[in-house]
Chain A
C-alpha cells in the first residue's frame, strides 16, 4: 500500500489539501525547536557570562592566605588556576603626592574568564589585555594620574617597592558593582607583594583563588572543596551578575516560552482543522476503495502510513526551520554576546519532534481514524452523512494534548493556566454568545433577494458550525493579541527603564562643601544630574529594643550590619510605598522608611522601632513605611531613608548620578583635577551592554511575533477553509440561478466579516484576561488595561476573516457553477 500512500500524498499535496496541514506541522516543530534551541544556548551563554563576572568558573575568597594544597588538587583535576590579592594601601608619587588606593595583585594567568582591559590615556579608549602587569610594573586607575600628578612611564611607590606606571587600569571582569569602599584601582603583579612589605598578618586583605576548566572537572572539584571550607573562607556564587540583563533575559525567556506554547496550540488547532477537512474530502476515496475490498484495517494502515510519512517530512523540515530560527536569533545577538554559546544539543529538536508526533496523534489522527469506518455505500449515495465528523472525544483529546504540551514545553503551570483561562473564556463565551446572537428569528429559505438578508440567513442556517468557527477564530486572534500585548508592554518597560539619557556615571564621596560647586560645574558643562543624596555610614543594632546578633556570617539574616543611610523629604523617584505612610514634609521626628527586602530579612514591619549606631552615637527611629525600589533603574537607591531634619547633624558625604555622552568623557579629567577626593564610577559600558542586549532581545521578540502571526494566520486560513465547501456549494447554486457576482461576494463578505467581528470581540476580552494573569503571575510586571487593543482586535478580526473568506470562495464567481459543483 505504500505506493498508494505516497501517490495519495503527492496528489493531495498538488491539490493543496495538505498545504495547511504540512505548514502547520512544520511551523509547530520549527518554532518549538527553534525557540527551545535558542533559550538553551542563551542560558549556556548566560552561565558563561556570569562566570565572566567572577573571572573564573569558581572562586574561593578569604581574609587569610588560602591553602596551597587546593591549588595542587585543582592542578591534578586539570583546572586552570589564578590568584588575586586585594588590599587598600597608600600609593606615593614623588615626595608630595600620595593617595589611598585599592590595590589588586594578580598572577599571570588572571583572568581565567572574561576580559581584562587597559588604556593608554586616562578615561580613554579601553583595549583588551592578554595578561595583567608584568613584575615591577603597575596599571593605575584614570583618576590616579591627576591625583598623583603622574603620567605613563613615571614611577610610583607602594610600600617599600617602586613600580613603573605602564598603563591605565580600565576594567576587570570581577571588579564588582559595589560602590562602597571603591578606591581608585592599582593593578600589580602577584609576585611583587612580598617586595612591598605592606601585607602583614592582620592586614585588611582579600585573598582569592580562581579556578576554571571543563564543567565536570569544576563541578567535582567544587564538591571536594565545599567541606574543606573553614570559617572566613567562602566560595563565591555566580549569581552576582548583572540584574538588569538577567531580569530582561528572564522575561524575554518567559515571552519566548509563551510564544512557543501559543505556537503549539495554534499549530495544533490548524492541524486539527486541516485534518478534519482532509478527512471529509477523503470520505469518497475511502468509499471507493472499500467497495473494492479494502477493510477498515487497510484504510487505517493507508492513512496511518500517509500520516507517518507526512509527519517525518514535516518534522525534518520543521527541525530545519528551527535550526534556522535559532541561527538567525544568534546572528542578531552575535555582537552583543561576549561569549560564544555552546551547542544546544539534540534536545530542542527532540522536543520539536515530540510536538509533531503529539500534534499528529492527538489532532490529525482522530478525524483520519474515522475514515476507516466510512460507509462504502457512498459510492452509490453521495448524500450519506459523514461518519461522526464532530466527535466530542476529538476535542477532549485535543484539549488534553494542548495542556500537556504547553505545560511540558514551558515547564510553567502559571503560564499554562493564563493561556487556558483565556481559551476557556473564548470557548464558553464564544459558544454562548454566538448561539444566542445567531438564533434570532429564523429567516425563510436562502433570502437571496438582498445581500444582507442572504448573509444573515447564511449565518443562521449554519448556526452551530458558525459558533464553532467563531470559537476557533477567536482562539487564534486571542493568542496573537496576547503575544502582541505582552511584547509591547515588555519593550515599553525596557525603554522606560533605560532611556537614552539614563544616568551612566556615579559620583560618590562628595563632601558637603563640594555639593554646590559641583552642581554649578555640572550646570556650566550642561550636564543634568540626579538629586544629590547624602550618605551616612551606620550600623543597624537592634529591632524593638532587642539586640541583633553580632556576626559576620552572611547566612544569618537577623544580624547587625553596616548600612548607608540617606535622607529625603519626599518619596524618592522610582520608589513606591508597599506599606505605611510617607512622613509629612519638614518633620523632625525619629522616623525611617525601609526597602521591602531589607525589612523582610530583618523581619521588620511598619510601627517597629529600629536602633542604629551612627559613628558612636545611638539613633532610634520608628518605621513608618516600607518601599519597593526599581533596582534596574540606574539611579541611586537606598535601603534606609530618614527625614532630613533628623540626620542633619550627622557627618555625611553625598552622591549623585548623571548622564555623560561618550564624546564628553574628557570632562572627567577636568572634574577629577578640580575635585580630587570625589570618586567617579563609570557605568556607561555596562549600560551600553544592557541596552545592546535588550535591543537584540526586542528584535528576537519581534521576530518570534512574526512567526507566531504566521501560525495564527494558518489557523484562520484552516478555519475559513473548513466551511468553504458548504458556502461554495450554496453560492454555486445561487450563481447557476443567476445571482450576481456582487450579491454572492457581498453576502459572503458580510457573513465572514460578521463572524470575524464576533471572534475579534471575544478574543479581545479573553486576551485582556490572559495578559492580566501573565503579567501579574508570570512576568512580574504591572498590568494596565490597553485601550487600543479593542478596536484592533475587533476590526482586524472582521477585516482579516472577511477577506480570507471571500478570497477562498472567489472561485465561485470566476468559474462555471457546474465546475464548482463537480469539484466539491
Chain B
C-alpha cells in the first residue's frame, strides 16, 4: 500500500568469524538478497549497523563503502555480472586496476589459470559458456584477495554438474585464500557444505 513502510529485515543479530563459511537460506522474498546487500555494503540499512573487520559500514558514505568493498570484499553473482566489453582477462584485472595494484596482468592470469581458463583468457563473456563465465567471476572475486566473499546463488543459472564444479572451486579457493564466505542460496545441499546455516523467514532469522 502506498505510504505504508515495509520492514524487510527484522531484529537480525549475527556474527560471522574470520575464515568461517556461512550459508543464508530461505524462500524467495524472505529477504536473503536484502541481507546480502546490507552485509556487503551495497545498500544502506535504515536502522542497525554492519561491522566488518572493525569498520562500521554505516559510518561510511557510498564512496567510502566502494573503497571498502574494493579492499575487503569479493562477489560472485547468480548472473555472473561480467562486463561484456572486456575479455576474461580484463574482467579479472578490473578490480585490481581499480585498487591500483601492481602486476595486475600476472595476478589476473594466475587466478584464471587457477580456475582452469588458461586457454580462454582472451575471450569475451559472450564467447564463454555459463560455467566458464562463472569461473571468470570467481577468478575476479579472488584476485583482489578479499577478506570476505559474498556469493549470491552462484549456481542458480547453471546446470547441476557445472554448478557442482563451481561450488567445489569456491570451497577450494576459500580454503586456499583463508577467505570468509557468505553464501546465499535456496539449495539445502549446497548450504550443508558450509560451516553454519542461517535460515531467513519473513525477514527474520529462525532456528533450524
Contacts and interface: CB of A to CB of B under 8 A. Distances in A.
Same complex origin of A and B: yes
Interface of A: 1, 3-4, 7-8, 10-12, 284-285, 288-298, 373, 375-377, 379-381
B33 interface: yes
B176 interface: no
B66 A380 contact: no
Nearest to B124: A11
Contact of B69 (A284, A293, A375): A293
Contact of A380 (B42, B67, B70, B99): B42
B85 A12 contact: yes
Contact of B90 (A7, A295, A376, A381): A7
Contact of B43 (A10, A284, A285, A377): A377
Minimum-distance CB pairs A-B, first 3:
A293-B70, A11-B85, A295-B63
B86 A293 contact: no
Given A4-B94, A291-B75, A380-B77, A296 B63 contact: yes
Nearest to A14: B85
A297 B63 contact: yes
A381 B31 CA distance: 12
A591 B99 CA distance: 94
Interface string B90-111: 1000110111000000000000
Determine the main DSSP class of A at the interface with B.
Answer: helix
Given A1-B97, A377-B37, A380-B152, A293 B84 contact: no
6 contacts: A4-B94, A11-B86, A292-B94, A293-B71, A297-B63, A379-B81
Contacts of B140: 292
Nearest to A7: B85
Nearest to A298: B98
Contacts of B121: none
B56 interface: no
Given A293-B71, A296-B62, 15 more contacts: A1-B97, A4-B97, A11-B85, A284-B81, A291-B69, A293-B66, A293-B95, A294-B66, A294-B98, A296-B63, A296-B66, A373-B62, A380-B33, A380-B77, A381-B37
Contacts of B36: 380
B81 A290 contact: no
B206 interface: no
B125 to A, nearest CB: 11
A288 B125 CA distance: 14
Contacts of A296: 62-63, 66
Interface string B31-57: 001001100101100000000000000
Contacts of A291: 40, 42, 69, 75, 81
Contacts of A12: 85
B83 interface: yes
B183 to A, nearest CB: 14
B185 to A, nearest CB: 14
Centre residue among A1, A7, A12, A377 by max chain B CB count within 10 A: A377
Nearest to A378: B42
B66 A379 contact: no
Given A11-B84, A380-B36, A292 B95 contact: yes
Contacts of B63: 295-297
A295 B83 contact: no
A176 B70 CA distance: 81
Contacts of B77: 379-380
A373 B63 CA distance: 10
B83 A289 contact: yes
Contacts of B70: 292-294
Given A291-B75, A292-B98, A4 B42 contact: no
B112 to A, nearest CB: 16
Contacts of A375: 42-43
B172 to A, nearest CB: 22
A379 B75 contact: yes
Contacts of A298: 66, 98
Contacts of B82: 288
Contacts of A7: 85-86, 90
A813 to B, nearest CB: 23
A8 B98 contact: no
A380 B85 contact: no
A281 B90 CA distance: 21
B98 A293 contact: yes
Nearest to A299: B66
Nearest to A376: B42
A377 B42 contact: yes
Nearest to B78: A380
B98 to A, nearest CB: 5
Contacts of A293: 66-67, 69-71, 95, 98-99, 144
Given A7-B90, A293-B70, A376-B42, A285 B83 contact: yes
Nearest to B71: A293
A379 to B, nearest CB: 5
B33 A381 contact: yes
Contacts of B97: 1, 3-4
Contacts of B144: 292-293
A341 to B, nearest CB: 46
A376 B36 CA distance: 12
B88 to A, nearest CB: 13
B4 to A, nearest CB: 19
Contact of B66 (A11, A285, A288, A295): A295
Nearest to A296: B63
A3 B95 CA distance: 13
Contacts of B33: 380-381
A3 B87 CA distance: 12
Nearest to B80: A288
A285 B125 CA distance: 13
A3 B91 CA distance: 12
Contacts of A292: 69-70, 75, 94-95, 98, 140, 144
Nearest to B64: A295
Contacts of B84: 11
A8 B85 contact: yes
A660 to B, nearest CB: 72
B42 A379 contact: yes
A12 B84 CA distance: 10
Nearest to A284: B81
Interface string B133-176: 00000001000100000001000000000000000000000000
Contacts of A4: 86, 90, 94, 97
Contacts of B83: 285, 288-289
Contacts of A288: 81-83
